[in-house]
Amino acid sequence: MSKPSELTKQIFKEEERISNLIIELRIQNSVDQSVLDGHEVVFRTAVFEGADPTVISGINTKRQEAARQIQHRNELISALSTQSNQENPSIQKLLINEFTKRLQGIEDLEKKAAAMQRKLMSHHKAILDGIREMEGLRKQLHINRTVVNEHHHRLSDESRDELSIPDTGLPVVRYTEGDPIYQMMSQLLIERKSLLRGEAVLQGNED
């Protein structure tokens, strides 16, 4: 399993902060609810006992203030609980900062790749021209082998020994097996399957 990116960690940290904030608001509401319940008891007692209106008004003010605080926190909890990443300004700032760097990185990398491609094109043309020339050499080599093998039986034993030509003629060389020029050419080519899996491995040099 791959490790989470730094951006993922930062987003998780912000989401965790919001979660902890909601927990803290609920704890505060629980405390204030107990205070409100106490005010309710005192308020009802004062009303039934005919307490001074000023006293009743003071108790009612405390009661209303506790209720207001609870309502305010409930609104905050509701907003925070339903807030998506798209609505969280902190997460949006994180994403904008990160994406700004990434998009600039994409542009810079594309420019570097284009510059490298231009630099390599001259070598690419030289390699292609060289391979075409080597193919001509390979064909000439094949012609030379063919001529020797077609007429080697005409040599005397002494002449064959002098030229180090086997009795059966020169070994038959297939285009892809045993052909020294082909092997040289193949080492100059990038193997397609290696390129597709993201590795520029020279054919014949994978070890």
pLDDT of 166 > 50? The answer is: yes
pLDDT in tens, 1-48: 568 788 889 999 989 999 999 999 999 999 999 999 998 999 899 888
The single residue listed with the structure tokens 């990116």 is 5
What's the half-sphere exposure (Cβ side, CA atoms, 13 Å) at 204? 11
**Computed from CA positions of residues 170, 176, 181, 184, in that sequence, does the dihedral angle turn out positive or negative?**
negative
Instruction: Give 184's contacts (C-beta < 8 A, 6+ positions apart).
Output: 134
Q: Which residues pair with 202 in a beta bridge?
A: 190
Q: For 104-135, what is each residue's pLDDT tens digit?
A: 999 999 999 889 888 888 888 888 888 889 88
pTM of the model: 0.53
pLDDT score recorded for residue 202: 42
> In Å, how far are 33, 130, 183, 189, 204 from 125, measured between CA atoms?
81, 8, 20, 12, 21
Domain boundaries, the chain: 6-83, 121-196
Q: How confident is the model at residue 201 (pLDDT cuts 50, 70, 90)?
A: very low
